[in-house]
Each structure stands twice: as structure tokens, then as C-alpha cells.
């Protein structure tokens, strides 16, 4: 089952396309990182997949074909929007009661136990909680709905490093123990690297990279060698991004597959495995390069990076 599936999805705001020709299929059971520069269309994609925004073209379904925003989709999907909006004048307990009243599935005991573990008093107003506690309360409200898909839009933006760590730990526990698929957008690449096993990279309103993190890492590597040979070498490889020093050049290249023997390392060059953060940064710096779907020619990608 695909937890999110989009075909030709697009959204136009006053003549400007925020997202265009977005075709995705995210299988269940993953923690999906949605990354991309500001204005890439991340929030638009998430809003459309939870039914907040109606697409201009194409369609989005969740949880195996339920139209986004339909009653069946809403029952199984929980969404925590950017800045974790809560009714600030309601107490945490009232927020639980309110959310219970508008959902067909609700686990009150789970919610209460979780808030107690987090040290969030039920009587305290949501607006008086710290930023981290508000984010945790919003996450609790989402998890107590027992969703099969939880969508988090920039959940870490307002949090300090410790709160980020705690928040992501909570998400990971839920994903592991309750078998919830998670889709989260974030700029915090370091945090994403620890938790995400699926990547969607948006750029300029289009999908640039998508796939399982392990697969993506396996078919990318960094080649380090003499700067003088870099152009020569790059012409024969699919270079996503090239970084040149005075003596040495670093080329992040895409291989034909996970098997390194298919793409031999040029003599005089060294190959290193790539981290998710490096990979994402390379693609962010090269908006013209696309890892999936379809290959790109090296010169095109190289040309854009200059």
C-alpha cells in the first residue's frame, strides 16, 4: 500500500505554480523526509495530501487510494501543521477533549499517559506551554488518533536542539511501535539523517529526487582526485555536484547501480561513500540534476552547478 500517491499533482496560486507535475508513490512503513529549499512546494504538497488545499490539477490519494481530504482519509491521517497550531486559550486537557470529540478513533489513556510522561500538566493552557511542549502536545493529539499516516510540516522549526531530539525520538517510537508511516518536512538535515529512511527532494515546485535512503546512498559516491583532471573525469560521469579546490576536486557522482564494479573509479581518484546530508546538499545546489525518475547527462548537471 502507498501511504501517499500523487499523479500529475499541481497547485497554482495567482498564476504562480507552487507545485507542478508532482508524481509520487510513497510506500507504507517509512519515515519520509521531505526536503527542499524555501518555496519549493513542500507545504503545498503536504497541505494537498491532508486535504487542506485542493489541487489545481492532478490528484492526491493517501492510505491506499483514499482521496485526500475524504472522510476515510481524514480518519486515518493525522497532520501537525507548521508551528503546531493549538487553541492557546484551551488547557491541554480541553485540547484532548476537543480532539476526542471530532475523531472517530481516539485513545484517551494513551494521550494522558504520554502527556504525564512529558510532564505537561492537563490543566495548563496550551498557550502557556513552552515551544517544545506545544509541539509535543500537538504530536500527542495526532498520535492519540491512532493514525496510520502522520504528516508533520516543519515540526522542528521552532524547537531548541534538546526539544528537537526529544520530538524526533517520540516520532521514531511511534513509527516503530505503532506501525505508523511518517512524512515530515524539515530543513534540519542532521535530524533527518538519523530518522529518515525515505527521501523526497522538491525543488522549484517539482520532484527532484525520490527514493529509499539506502538505495540513494548506495548509488551515489564522492570521488576525490586532482583538480586538473576534474573536467575530463566529469565528462564521463554523471556528476551531481562538483566542488573544486586548488589541488583537489570533489565530485558527487551518481552510479548506474548499487554495485560499484559497474562504475570503476578513474585511476588516481578515490571513492568515498556519501552521507544523506551531503547528498541532499549536492542536489539542493544543483536544482537541474534529478536522481529519479530517469538519469541525467553529466554535462547538464555539471553545467548547472557552475
Partner 1 sequence: MTALTVPVGQDRDLRPLPWRKMAWITWRQHRIALAGVAALLGGGAVYLLIMGLSIHHSYAALTACHPASSDACGNLVGNFLSTYWMGAQITSVLLQLVPVLIGAFVGAPVLARELETGTFRFIWTQGFGRARWAVAKLTLLAVAVTAAAGAFSVLYAWYIRPFLAAAVSQQSSLAGEIFDLKGIAFAAWTLAAFAIGALAGLLIRRVVPALAATLAVYAGMAFATTLFLRQHYLAPLVTNSPGGPPGNGNAALPVSQWYTGPNGKPVSQAVINHLLQGFNPTTTKVAPNAFQTNISPQQYLAQHGYTLWMSYQPASRFWPFQWIEGGWLLAISLILIAATIWLVRRRAA
Q: Does 64 bind partner 1 (CB under 8 A)?
A: yes
Give Cβ neighbours of residue 92 (< 8 Å, ≥ 6 apart): 115, 120, 121, 122, 123, 124, 125, 126, 129, 137
In this complex, which beta carbon is closest to partner 1, that of residue 137 or of residue 230? 137
Q: Tell me: does residue 65 bind partner 1 (CB under 8 A).
A: yes
In the sheet that 2-13 helps form, which strands lie side by side, from edge to edge?
A: 16-27, 2-13, 57-62, 66-67
Name residues contacting partner 1, limited to 133-162 (CB under 8 A): 138, 141, 145-146
Quick one: which segment of 58-66, 206-214, 226-234, 243-251 binds partner 1 (CB under 8 A)? 58-66
According to CB under 8 A, which residues from 213 to 252 bind partner 1?
Answer: none
Q: What is the largest CA-CA distance in the chain?
A: 68
11: nearest Cα among 23, 25, 26, 22: 22
Of 28, 57, 75, 229, the one binding partner 1 by CB under 8 A: 75
Cβ proximity to partner 1, 23 vs 82, nearer residue: 82
Order of strands across the sheet that contains 238-244: 238-244, 248-254, 220-226, 270-273
Contact 138, 80 (CB under 8 A): yes
Site string for partner 1, 11-50 (x = CB under 8 A): x-x---------------------------------x--x
Kind and range of the H or E run holding 92: helix 92-101
Query: Which residues make beta-bridge pairs with 9?
Result: 22
**Cα 114 off chain centre by:** 25
| Angle, helices 131-143/108-118, rounded to nearest 10 degrees | 160
Q: Which of the ranges 73-81, 112-120, 177-185, 249-257 carries the binding residues for partner 1, by CB under 8 A?
A: 73-81
| Closer to partner 1 by Cβ: residue 8 or 65 | 65
Q: Does 87 bind partner 1 (CB under 8 A)?
A: yes
Least Å from the CB of residue 12 to partner 1 = 10
Applying CB under 8 A, the residues found at the interface with partner 1 are 11, 13, 47, 50-54, 64-66, 71-72, 74-75, 77-79, 81-83, 85-88, 90, 94, 97-99, 101-106, 138, 141, 145-146
Amino acid at each position: 500500500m502507498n501511504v501517499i500517491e500523487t499523479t500529475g499533482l499541481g497547485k497554482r496560486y495567482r498564476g504562480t505554480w507552487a507545485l507542478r507535475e508532482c508524481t509520487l508513490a510513497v510506500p507504507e512503513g517509512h519515515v519520509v523526509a521531505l526536503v527542499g529549499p524555501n518555496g519549493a512546494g513542500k507545504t503545498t504538497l503536504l497541505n494537498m495530501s491532508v486535504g487542506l488545499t485542493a489541487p489545481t490539477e492532478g490528484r492526491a490519494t493517501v492510505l491506499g487510494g483514499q482521496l485526500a481530504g475524504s472522510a476515510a482519509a481524514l480518519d486515518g491521517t493525522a497532520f501537525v501543521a507548521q508551528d503546531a497550531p493549538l487553541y492557546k486559550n484551551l488547557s491541554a486537557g480541553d485540547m484532548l477533549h476537543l480532539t476526542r470529540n471530532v475523531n472517530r478513533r481516539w485513545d484517551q489513556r494513551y494521550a494522558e499517559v504520554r502527556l504525564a510522561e512529558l510532564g505537561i500538566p492537563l490543566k495548563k493552557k496550551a498557550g502557556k506551554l513552552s515551544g517544545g511542549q506545544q509541539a509535543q502536545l500537538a504530536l500527542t493529539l495526532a498520535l492519540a488518533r491512532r493514525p496510520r499516516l502522520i504528516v508533520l510540516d516543519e515540526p522542528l522549526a521552532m524547537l531548541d536542539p534538546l526539544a528537537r531530539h526529544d520530538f524526533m525520538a517520540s516520532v521514531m517510537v511511534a513509527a516503530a511501535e505503532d506501525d505508523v508511516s511518517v512524512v515530515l518536512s524539515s530543513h534540519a538535515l542532521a535530524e533527518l539523517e538519523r530518522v529518515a529512511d525515505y527521501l523526497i527532494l522538491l525543488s522549484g515546485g517539482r520532484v527532484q529526487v525520490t527514493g529509499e535512503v539506502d538505495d540513494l546512498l548506495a548509488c551515489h559516491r564522492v570521488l576525490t582526485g586532482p583538480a586538473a583532471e576534474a573536467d575530463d573525469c566529469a565528462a564521463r560521469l554523471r556528476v551531481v555536484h562538483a566542488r573544486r579546490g586548488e589541488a583537489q576536486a570533489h565530485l558527487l557522482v551518481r552510479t548506474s547501480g548499487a554495485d560499484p564494479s559497474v562504475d570503476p573509479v578513474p585511476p588516481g581518484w578515490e571513492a568515498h561513500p556519501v552521507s544523506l546530508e551531503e547528498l541532499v546538499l549536492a542536489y539542493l545546489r544543483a536544482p537541474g540534476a534529478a536522481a529519479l525518475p530517469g538519469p541525467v547527462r553529466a554535462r547538464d548537471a555539471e553545467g548547472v552547478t557552475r
